[in-house]
Structure formats: structure tokens, C-alpha cells
Structure 1
Amino acid sequence: MSASIAATPDGAQAQPAPRPPMRTLGLYLLLGFSAGLPFYMFNAVLTLRLARHGVDIVIIGFFAWIALLPTFKFVWAPLLDRYSVPGFSRFWGRRRGWIMLSQLGIFLSMVAMAFTSSDQSLPLTALFAILLAFWTTTLEVAADGWRIELAPTQAQQGPIVAANLWGYRSAMVAAGSGAVLVAAWADWTWAYLAIAIAAFLPFPMLAAMRPEQPGATGRIRALASGTLISLALIAIVGLATALIGWAALSAVQGAGFSAQTNVTPIVLAIALLPFVALAIALPRIRRLPADAPAKMPGFIAPYVEIFWRFGYAVLPVLAFVSFYRMGDVLTLTLSHPLWNAAGYSLEQISVADGIVALACSMAGVAVGGLCAARLPMTVALIIGACASAVGNWVFVWLWYAEPSAFVLYVAAGVDQFGHGLEGAVFVVYLSMLVSPRYPGTQYAFLSGFAFLLPRLIGGAAGAIQKQIGYDGFFILSGALSFAAIFFLPIVMRVRPRAGAVHG
């Protein structure tokens, strides 16, 4: 597929494509499950855990900034395209090698979170949550690059994205419901240990898979050497993260920031910086010759290429993607603290995050995948934005309604359906913007940038909630998600510049 075809987001004239094989769909169901389990544990489940321990809502909001780490996955995504994990990659290939390393990192980080689940030391809680977010994101980068290589067209992407999100969202639901239920029966230590074991189950399944090259030998030796090298890498990353975190925390405290500081204006100013930087850089990038990206170092070539290809149109595209997932991110930040404040028990929250959320999320993903595969992308994106907005506004009704299981389950169901639908459409849209030369890195950049503004605001969610209440917060978050529609008349007219040379 040429870059121009891949970058054309409107699917009205999409060419027929064969359906991906069932083994590919099954693979991405598994990979989605592997990434979804840990994501909920450093996000929604952690915010609920902190709320149950009486941590201030503003501090809980700050923990939402941990989810910013996936936003910057484009920083290390080129390493996954360029380097292999010794041991693992020699037998199973580069993509699976990184996935196996990531699963080891996920398991050990979650075990560490289990044994610090009293949250007596919030910096320590934050350290292990950050490590869990890092390894979860690394797994997603490897899986996303593989997915785009396997299915380069919009018609092929729809079923694979749906399978991946079925696995991802079912795992999130299993993690949320299962962890909360175990915490209700035992404590948070057992909850995190149970999910850590479940998250590690795909590792032996991957280890049992066929080698990348038919006839390759040395499975046991590759597994042993890959595990030892991976443990060393995980330890190095953990130590580096601890040192960086200590320096950052010291700097923040030295500057006088605390839970009482109004961080919202600061957050909004920071959110504008990437757009300002892009506006400054674009004129020079636009003047480059067509073969310039191909001659640049592999670390920066993917980013220069996408800016060269879209030119100034990249600014409204990035603004659009920043708003589109706003409702999803902000709901995940404060929905569980809201349920706790409204008086719902851990058992009720477990059911809402379990059977109800699973059924509605799967239905939403299926509808979203169908919309992305069958409808013009403009129409599919509008449907997704509306569904996301309703998924936020339903929590206003929950806040004012008399607490009951029915109210909680309806609100959770509407939320999961809307955001599942929106997410499926959005993944296909982003996949159509990338160049086939740099699928993993460019997708990592676009999907990461899409969550930058929402997650920056998410970190200030606690401070915003104190100013306007839970009702005002969810009215605002739904409106921001709906506002993405107003970018579509501009975004859908964007066409890539032809002539890029990829070498």
C-alpha cells in the first residue's frame, strides 16, 4: 500500500480486501488481553484503591498523570523497530521478543505494587505504577507495529482492531471486576497478585509458539538467555526510573507545589507547547526535498516524514485526535472515585466493572469495528464522538439519582458501549494516517499524541472536580469529546503530499 492510500482517512472508496485469517484475529485477541489487564491496574483500579485509603482527590488526580507515559511512547518506539531483544528475538522474532520482555516487566511491576498496596508511601506506589505503565506501553508499541504490517488496508484493519479491542477491553473489565472483588474478599495485595498471574499467562503461550524462521532450533536456550537478559534490562529501567522520579519529586517540592496548588492553568499552558513547537518547525520541514526523510537517521525520519507529508494540515489533524478521546480518558480518571463518593460498595463496583461492562464494551467495539469497515470514515467518526459524549454525560444522571444497583449498571453499560465504539473507529482512523515505511513509530506518535491533552487535563481532574463538582466535571468532559466533531469539516479534506521517498 502506498503512503497516499494509507493516509487517506475517508473509506468511502475503500478497495475490497480479504478477511484476515482466524489465527491472526486470535493472536490480536490475545495481545489485546495481555495489554488490557495491567492498564486498568495503574489507572482505574489504582484510583479506586487510593480513594478507599482516603487519599485526597487532588492527589488521586495527580496519579492520573502516570497515564501520560504511553503518550510519549514515540520516544522509545524507534528502538523497538531498530533493535531486538537478545535471546527471545533470535528464536521468536523481533516483535514477539519485545512482547515477551514486556510481559516479564509487567508481571514484576504488578507484584511490586501488590506488596506496597497499603499506599503508606505514595512515592513508592507511584514508582511501581510508572514501571507498570512503561512495560504495558512497550507491549502495545510492538503489537501495534505488527498489526499494521499484517493488515495495511482499512477493510482489513476493522476485524483485527475489533479482535484486539475485544481482548483489551475484556481484560480491562476482568482486571477491574476481578481485582475489586478480590480486594472486597481479601485485600489489595491479593488483588494485584491475582491480576499479575493472569497477565503473565500469555507468556508461556508465546514461548510455545513456532519460531519466526521455520526449522529454527534452540528454543530452551533462547528462552533461558532471553529471560536472564530481560531481568537485567528490567532492573536497569527500574533503577533509572527511581533516580529520575526522585529528582523530579525533589524539584517539584522545591518549587513549592502541593495538593493546594491550582495546577489547571499550568496544565493548559503545557498542553499548548507541542502545537507551538510544531508550528515553528513545520515551515522548515515543508521546504525539505522529497527524499530528505529517507536520508535522515532512523530515530527522527518517521516524524519528519509525517510532517512533510501532511504539512500545515497536521496541526488540525493533531488537534482533532487530541479532542476525540477526551471523554474516554477523563471518565476513566474519576468514574471510580465518583462511585466511591456516591456510596457504592466494592461488590457493586465489581459487578459494574465485570459482567455489565464486558457485555456492553464488546458490543460497542463490534459496532465500532463494523462502522469503520463499512461506513465512510467521516460518518463513523461522528457516531463515535456522539457515543463517547453520552458515555460521559450518563454519570451526571448517576450522581443525582438515588443510589441503586440499576443506576450504577446502566451508567457503566452506557459508558463502556460508547467508549468501546469510539475506540474501535479511532484506531482504524489513526492506522490510515501512517506511512507503510514507518508503521510502528508513526502509529506510536499519533496514538500517543492523541492522549497528551486528555491525560494532562486528567491529572488536574481532582482540582477541577473540587471547583465544579462531579456533575460539572462530567458535563465538561462529555462536551470536550463532542467538540471533536467540529474539526471534521477540515480534517476530512486533508490529503497527504505525494512524492515522499522512503529509500
Structure 2
Amino acid sequence: MSTSAASLSDAGAAAPSVVRPGIGRLALYVLLGFSAGLPFYMFSTVLALRLTQHGVGLVVIGFFAWVTLLPTFKFLWAPLLDRFDVPGFGRFWGKRRGWIMLAQLGIFSSMAAMAFTASDESLAVTALFATLLAFWTTTLEVAADAWRIELAPTQDEQGPIVAANLWGYRTAMVAAGSGALIVADHGGWTAAYLLIAAAAFLPFPLLVSMRPEHRGANRWSALGTGLLASFAILTFAAIATAAVGWVLLDLASRGGISSTSNVTPAVLSICMLPFIAMALALPSIRRAHPDAWFRRSAAIGPYVDIFWRYGYATLIVLAFVSLYRMGDVLALTLSKPLVKSLGYSLTEIGVADGAVALLSSMVGVGLGGWLVTRWPQAWTLALGAVAAAIGNWGFVWLAHQSPGTFVLYAATAADQFGNGLAGAVFVVYLSMLVNPRYPGAQYAFLSGFAFLLPRLLAGASGSMQVQIGYDGFFILTGALTLAAILFLPLIGRIRPRAPDDPEA
């Protein structure tokens, strides 16, 4: 085994409290980011282009953006990852790596299924496998995020490890988008999805080869048991997802929702419900004694703790995090259909999403990871919002230029730099809100809620474009991100309540 592989093995095998710092830890998180980043474009941007090429309308493509809603609800199953081990895998490789290995099997099987249904003859089947891909990608992220917060509890420690994780994530995300489009242009969508599925599975053998976390367990017995258990879990997840999807499609049909529906008003109304519910519950939460059942509950206690610690300021925090990345989420839904409508080929888009996007994104992530260790938090958040807004407005500029590689590369670079910078500082900000007693569950809730409103609205992006056009749509996305700066004077003054629990 090489020196780098040995470092990874040592880092992955140790318990969170003793994982050695430095290159081994950073390399581990580059790898975990790479594992999670590869699938993301395949159920979002690449899928939007695939549907566009198959003649699916923008309103329906917008509906497919609701697949990306799944990560916002990861808090629903995040406590399971803290409480249970994956049979077989957990016995030998430990809780965190066990869930990561199961998630990688889920990612591979879901993406292979999308490859063999790449004709999109049944949009319901396409939606099913895209949803499963999003679910297993999110599960991998939940396990990796919990580990990261345990390893790096302070802001100074978070900066480098977040940058390493996002470098791996964005490298894979850009490579998947670029590589998939170029392969699809020459060999078809089936070949593109199979290629990315194989690449996403590459870390699995490395994880299998790592040293055990629990001594005395047999590697091959644990692997066999884990594979059998994984097959059962993956099958159950597919059946359950299909059943829920059938019910939702039936309800949508009964409700009169179709490809011509303007769902924006309904979506905006739904988005207000979480804020109203939380405001009503806050007085009871603030008065609750440490022994109150909902504060002690393993299922909801970690989430109640957020509201108990921050009180009514929680509503300000959640409004801010909902707005901060909204522009980038909305722009992601329609940016590639816009570029395709301007006459660019899949290969041209793929090349722009390759070296250009990767370099600019990594520069943005690196700068964000460096700034959070040196600048006040409010300044880094403000700079990230400005950079992200400029990146969104770059698509308006692109739409009014004659098609050419330079203008495409410039718009792509601005978008990816702003996205990378804003993403890095935002991850650190969310991580610092977390109570170290509940790292996995609370980060899952905060990061999930941060994208709930944006991804709900993303499903209505096609309807928005029909109403205000591409120019109006991308001007709006940039303005929404920039509006988050108005919250920063309040955000900078918010502090958590001192604990009243003797165990804290």
C-alpha cells in the first residue's frame, strides 16, 4: 500500500476522537467529497439537459428539480445513522464507514438504473431512480458531515477540512457534468451514466481495504454479511420510494397539476408553513425544563435543542440560511437549458464544465476556506453573497452575446467561482451553529432547512421562466442572494443560550 493510501487507512480506521490531523485527514475528506459530488449533477443539471434533449417542457423539467428537495429532509433519517450500524459493515469498519459503504452501493445501483432507462420513455420511472440516487447521495453526506464536525469542532479547524471536502466534491461534480455531457454527445446517455456510476464506485474497494475499527472481526465475513444486508436495504428503499411516488403522482393528478400549471403561488404558500409552525412552538420550547420529554427524545431532542438555544433568533437564522443559497439553487435548475437554447452543443457545455468550472470553483472554495480563518464571519458571508450574485447575473450577460467559447467560459467561471466561495463560507457558518452533542442530526437539519425553500421554489422555476423570461429569472436569482446581506447585522449579534442541563 502506498504512503497516501496508508494514511487514508489509518485515518479512516481510527475512532473520531483520535483520527490523526494533517494530510491524512484532509485526503480522507477530499475522497469523501469526491464520492458525494459525482452523483449530484446526474440527478440535477445533467438530467435537466437529458430531459431537454428528449423534448420535455421547461415546466416539467422544473418539477424534476423537486428531486433535489430530498437532501433538505435528511434530518428525518439522520438520527438513524447516529444510532444504528449497517449489519456486517459496521461490525468491521465502524458506524461511519459502514453507512458510507452502503450509500455507495445505493449510488451505483441507482445510477446504473438511470443508465438503462435513459430513453426517458416513462418520466415516472426516471423520477423514481433519480430520487433514489438523491437519497443515497444524501445519506453518504450525512455520515461524512457528522464525522467532520466531530473531527474539527472549531472554526479554525473547520476551514481547511471544509475546503478539502468541497474540493473533492466540486472536482467530482464538475468532472461528472463535463465528462457525462461529452460522452453523451458521442456515445449516448446510457454510456454517460454507466461511466459516472463506475467512477462513483471507485472509493468502495479502498474503504474495504482499510484497517478495521473493531478488532477481532473477520473482513470477508463482514463484507459478505454487509453486501447481503445492503441488497435487502436497497430493495426495500426502492419499493418504498415507488409506493410513495405513486401516491404523490396520483394526488397531483387529482389536484389538476399538469405541465401547464403555474405552481409558484402554491409553492410560496407551502414555504411559509415551517416558519409559522416554529413560531407557534417556540414559547413552549423556551420554557421547557431539561427533563421535558421533547428535549430528552432521541428522535426530536437534537432539533428542539436548536430552538431552545437560540430562541426567537432561530427564525432569523433560518430565514437567512434559506435565502443565502437561493439564487444558486434556482440558477442551477435552468442554467444549462438556457445555455443549450443559445445553440451550444453538449460537448461545448461539457468542456466549459470541465477545466474552466473546476479551476474557478476550486479557487473560490480555497479562498473561502482561507478567509474564514482570518476575517470576521459577517464579512466572509457578505463577500460570498456578492460573488454568487455576480455569477448568476453572468447568465444574463451570456444570453445577449454572440455564441462563442470565450463568453461561455467567462460566464461559467464567474458562476462557479461565486458558488464555490459562497459554499465554503456557508458550510463553516452552519457548522458553528451546531451543538457538539448532536453534530450529525443538527447539521443535517440546518443544512437541509437551508435548501428547503430554494428547492421548493426551484420546482416552480420553469413556471417562473414562462412568466418573466430567462433575463428576468436570472436577475431575480442574483437579487435574492444579495438580499441575504440585509440579515447580517442581526446574524452577527446572535449568540446561543447557556446550557441548563448538567450533562451538557
- TM-score surpassing 0.5? yes
After superposition, residues 304-319 of structure 1 pair within 5 angstroms as 304-319=304-319
Equivalent residue, structure 2, for 1:394: 394
Task: Report SS of the residue matched to 1:373.
Answer: coil
Residue identity matched to 1:238: A
Partner deviation per Cα, 1:50-84 (whole Å, 9 max, x = no partner)? 11111100000000000000000000001101111
Q: Which runs of 5+ in 2 are unaligned?
A: 1-18
Equivalent residue, structure 2, for 1:475: 475
Equivalent residue, structure 2, for 1:109: 110
Residue identity matched to 1:270: I
After superposition, residues 196-207 of structure 1 pair within 5 angstroms as 196-207=197-208
Equivalent residue, structure 2, for 1:268: 268
Residue identity matched to 2:247: A
Q: TM-score, normalising length from structure 1?
A: 0.95
1:454 matched to 2:454: yes
Residue identity matched to 2:72: T
Residue identity matched to 2:266: I
1:152 matched to 2:162: no
CA distance in 1, matches of 2:348, 2:291: 58
Q: TM-score, normalising length from structure 2?
A: 0.95
CA distance in 1, matches of 2:155, 2:172: 25
CA distance in 2, matches of 1:239, 1:277: 32
CA distance in 1, matches of 2:346, 2:243: 36
CA distance in 1, matches of 2:495, 2:144: 27
Aligned-pair CA distance for 1:255: 1.5
CA distance in 2, matches of 1:295, 1:249: 36
CA distance in 2, matches of 1:20, 1:402: 50
- Whether the 8 Å contact between 2:112 and 2:194 is mirrored in structure 1 is yes
Equivalent residue, structure 2, for 1:130: 131
Equivalent residue, structure 1, for 2:51: 50
1:367 matched to 2:357: no
CA distance in 1, matches of 2:323, 2:146: 24
Equivalent residue, structure 2, for 1:321: 321
CA distance in 2, matches of 1:435, 1:293: 19
Residue identity matched to 2:129: F
Partner deviation per Cα, 1:127-183 (whole Å, 9 max, x = no partner)? 000000000000000000000001100000000000000000000001000000100
Output the aligned Cα RMSD. Answer: 1.3
Equivalent residue, structure 2, for 1:434: 434
CA distance in 1, matches of 2:167, 2:293: 36
After superposition, residues 69-468 of structure 1 pair within 5 angstroms as 69-213=70-214, 215-292=215-292, 296-468=296-468
Q: Which has the higher contact order (CA 8 A, sep 6+)?
A: 1
CA distance in 2, matches of 1:180, 1:94: 36
Number of residue pairs the alignment of both structures matches: 485
State the percentage of identical aligned residues.
Answer: 66
Partner deviation per Cα, 1:280-329 (whole Å, 9 max, x = no partner)? 11010011124547962201110111110001000000000000011221
Task: Report SS of the residue matched to 2:297.
Answer: coil
- Whether the 8 Å contact between 2:360 and 2:413 is mirrored in structure 1 is yes
Task: Report SS of the residue matched to 1:496.
Answer: coil
- Whether the 8 Å contact between 1:183 and 1:190 is mirrored in structure 2 is yes
CA distance in 2, matches of 1:332, 1:182: 21
CA distance in 1, matches of 2:72, 2:62: 17
Partner deviation per Cα, 1:93-125 (whole Å, 9 max, x = no partner)? 101000000000000000000000011100000
CA distance in 2, matches of 1:287, 1:197: 52
Moved over 4 A (4+): none
CA distance in 2, matches of 1:448, 1:171: 21
Q: Which runs of 5+ in 1 are unaligned?
A: 1-17
- Whether the 8 Å contact between 1:52 and 1:340 is mirrored in structure 2 is no
Aligned-pair CA distance for 1:500: 3.7
